[in-house]
Amino acid sequence: MESMVAMETLVSLCKRRGFIYQSSEIYGGLASAWDYGPMGVELKNRVQNFWWREMTQLHENIVGLDASILMHPRVWEASGHVENFTDPLVDCKKCKQRFRADQIPEQNMETHACPECGGELTDPRQFNLMFKTHLGPVESDASLVYLRPETAQGIYVNFKNVVQTARMRVPFGIAQVGKAFRNEITTKNFIFRTCEFEQMEMQFFIHPSEDGKWFEQWKQERFEFYKKMGIRESRMRFHQHGPGELAHYAKIAFDIEYEFPFGWKELEGIHNRTDYDLRRHMEYSKKDLTYLDDLRDGERYIPYVIETSAGLTRTVLTVLADAYDEEEVEGEKRVVMRLHPDLAPVTVGVFPLVKKDGLAELAQEVVRDLREDFTTFYDQGGAIGRRYRRQDEIGTPFGVTVDYQSKEDRTVTLRYRDSMEQVRVPIAGLHERIRQAIKEYRRVD
């Protein structure tokens, strides 16, 4: 079995190469908040686009939405979050640390002993995870609003709008990517669990009699999605929620789990939310959210919802952890991020063999041309081997080197990141070669 990257190795590469920085670092950092640097934002955008394309472009019955983060406070009463979206927390009276009661060893709960300092723990208290703020200049109960803890509710409250204005017929889905906020006790696992994060959610509206069929279909499709993105199948599995784990809205739920360096953890949840949310919004808003199905002899019903809910930032961590590889090449360690070419922050690195004799100018001409179609990075500094290694570390799948022969016959060498194979290609044929290689990409380990 391939070895797994240690978290500190990954965190340090992410910092060093401009993927992810600690938030507010110059002030000592903010716990569990992270900023995406030049490489990180490219990667995150590409993961998002990969999902968006898969969900909307490749499914004729799914449309997109971008709802606001702040919503009417009644939304969260209707959704059950005000009442139920809580974690049981215990405090240590001595060291003042706070823990999730369900995440500390049972023995500590029984003896009321703090897992850090042995001090006395309080009894568990339910703590609501929603961040509160106030709309407008007056801080009163009437101005209370929440930062959304999930993007899904923005979809449910727009269900009728989408049916009426986008002419969607059940079964159909609405996809959305956006920020969500949870005031969680976070652990030390980098961007795995943060208080501010991004979700990629798709709510699929169906006739209640078809929930089993659609649940199974989405479960399989979502697993395939990660394989398509180049994630190793051997590090993925399903986990079914037992009765004690089910969220307040769910009838059945499966997680897709990934084997992170710190163990198997949830990457995405697929939930059968039944008609819970639409029904509750009907009750609380007093608006009719039933659906008139002309394909079922005018039957009127509240659709069931199959939800696929993935973390965008958590997927970025998965992609990074899965891509990391080390190997020995000519007696030296090569670190290579085996990112899918559609996800890599830079697609092509272009290098003049030397700066002089017009090679830099020719290489820049190649860059100008490739830039129209691919994210391209030009690097003329240092030995060519070192320049290749720098690109390997950020996962750049292709390298183009301009040498003396290039000036004579307008050919260059094209280097493949994974195999390190080099082939001579006419400059005029580069676009096509690269496009083809992206299309045919298969993960090699």
Query: Which residues, at least 6 apart from 187, have a Cβ–Cβ distance to it below 8 Å?
Result: 103, 193
CB closer to ligand ATP, 225 vs 291: 225
- β-bridge pairing 348-352 and 376-378: parallel
CB closer to ligand ATP, 266 vs 393: 266
CB closer to ligand ATP, 270 vs 337: 270
Name which position in 222, 281, 314, 340 contacts ligand ATP (CB under 6 A). 314
Helix (H) or strand (E) holding 367: helix 359-370
Residue 114: phi and psi, rounded to 5, are -65, 130
Confirm or reject binding of residue 203 to ligand ATP (CB under 6 A).
no
Q: Which stretch binds ligand ATP (CB under 6 A): 1-9, 161-169, 260-268, 424-432?
A: 260-268
Confirm or reject binding of residue 401 to ligand ATP (CB under 6 A).
no
CB closer to ligand ATP, 314 vs 417: 314
Name the DSSP letter for residue 55: I
Residue nearest to ligand ATP (CB): 311
Confirm or reject binding of residue 182 to ligand ATP (CB under 6 A).
yes
CB closer to ligand ATP, 178 vs 341: 178
Question: Taking the mean position of all CA atoms in its chain, how far away is CA 241?
Answer: 21
User: Is the peptide bond preceding residue 171 cis, with omega within 30 degrees of 0?
Assistant: yes
CB closer to ligand ATP, 103 vs 422: 103
Q: Are 184 and 102 in contact, with CB atoms under 8 Å apart? A: no
Q: Which stretch binds ligand ATP (CB under 6 A): 68-76, 163-171, 190-198, 357-365?
A: 190-198
Confirm or reject binding of residue 309 to ligand ATP (CB under 6 A).
yes
CB closer to ligand ATP, 153 vs 309: 309
At its nearest, how many Å lie between ligand ATP and the CB of residue 197? 4
At its nearest, how many Å lie between ligand ATP and the CB of residue 191? 7
Nearest to 317 by CA among 189, 181, 225: 189
Q: Tell me, what amino acid is at 421?
A: E
Give the separation between CA 339 and CA 323, rounded to whole angstroms.
5
Pick out residues in 338-367 that bind ligand ATP (CB under 6 A): none
Confirm or reject binding of residue 197 to ligand ATP (CB under 6 A).
yes
Name which position in 89, 184, 393, 420 contacts ligand ATP (CB under 6 A). 184
Tell me the CB-side half-sphere exposure of residue 230, using CA atoms within 13 A.
27
At its nearest, how many Å lie between ligand ATP and the CB of residue 16? 23
Pick out residues in 124-153 that bind ligand ATP (CB under 6 A): 150
Interface with ligand ATP (CB under 6 A), residue total: 16
Q: Are 216 and 183 in contact, with CB atoms under 8 Å apart? A: no
Confirm or reject binding of residue 310 to ligand ATP (CB under 6 A).
yes
Q: Which stretch binds ligand ATP (CB under 6 A): 21-29, 105-113, 189-197, 401-409?
A: 189-197
CB closer to ligand ATP, 137 vs 244: 244
Q: Which stretch binds ligand ATP (CB under 6 A): 68-76, 159-167, 303-311, 356-364?
A: 303-311
Query: Which residues, at least 6 apart from 392, have a Cβ–Cβ distance to it below 8 Å?
Result: 334, 335, 336, 337, 417
3-state secondary structure at position 247: coil
Q: Encoding tokens for residue 298?
A: 């005018």
In terms of phi and psi (left: phi > 0; alpha: psi -120 to 50; beta: otherwise), the region of 21 is beta
At its nearest, how many Å lie between ligand ATP and the CB of residue 269? 4
CB closer to ligand ATP, 86 vs 375: 86
Nearest to 343 by CA among 318, 311, 367: 318
Give the separation between CA 239 and CA 267, rounded to whole angstroms.
11
Nearest to 319 by CA among 20, 43, 88: 43
Confirm or reject binding of residue 308 to ligand ATP (CB under 6 A).
no
Q: Are 67 and 178 in contact, with CB atoms under 8 Å apart? A: yes
CB closer to ligand ATP, 254 vs 388: 254
Q: Which stretch binds ligand ATP (CB under 6 A): 48-56, 67-75, 136-144, 266-274?
A: 266-274
Confirm or reject binding of residue 267 to ligand ATP (CB under 6 A).
yes
Name which position in 42, 268, 379, 392 contacts ligand ATP (CB under 6 A). 268
Q: Are 288 and 299 in contact, with CB atoms under 8 Å apart? A: no
Q: Are 434 and 347 in contact, with CB atoms under 8 Å apart? A: yes
Name which position in 171, 173, 230, 311 contacts ligand ATP (CB under 6 A). 311
Q: Are 349 and 396 in contact, with CB atoms under 8 Å apart? A: yes
To the nearest 10°, report the CA torsion of 434, 439, 441, 442: -170
Strands ordered across the beta sheet of 86-91:
98-100, 86-91, 125-128
CB closer to ligand ATP, 176 vs 199: 199
| Site for ligand ATP, rule CB under 6 A | 150, 182, 184, 193-194, 197, 199, 266-269, 309-311, 313-314
